[in-house]
Amino acid sequence: MTEILLTIALLTTLILSYLERKDLNNRLMAKDLKDLKDNTQKDEPNQLEDEENLYIPLEDAREVIEKDIDA
């Protein structure tokens, strides 16, 4: 029974180290920064949040600040 558990632990360690080494080799073998970013960077939308909610009129901002100061 002990031999089976040790064998499973050894195989798990070997598989995980192989996957980690494969990932590191892909990063180290990049020919330039663009190649590295293409292989490692996830696609993210290049969108801003709703711009209407980001800005408030100056008068409203003053009121909010004054309420925070008074509170």
Report which of 31, 49, 33 is spatially closest to residue 41, judged by C-alpha positions: 33
Question: Which pTM value belongs to this model?
Answer: 0.38
Report which of 33, 32, 36 is spatially closest to residue 23, judged by C-alpha positions: 36
Mind listing the pLDDT tens digit for each residue in 23-64?
Answer: 877 666 667 778 777 777 666 676 666 666 667 788 888 888
Residue at 26: amino acid letter: N
Q: In the chain, where are the structural domains located?
A: 1-40
The answer to whether 40 and 27 are in contact (CB under 8 A) is: yes
The answer to whether 36 and 25 are in contact (CB under 8 A) is: no
Q: What is the rounded CA–CA span in Å between residue 14 and residue 8?
A: 10
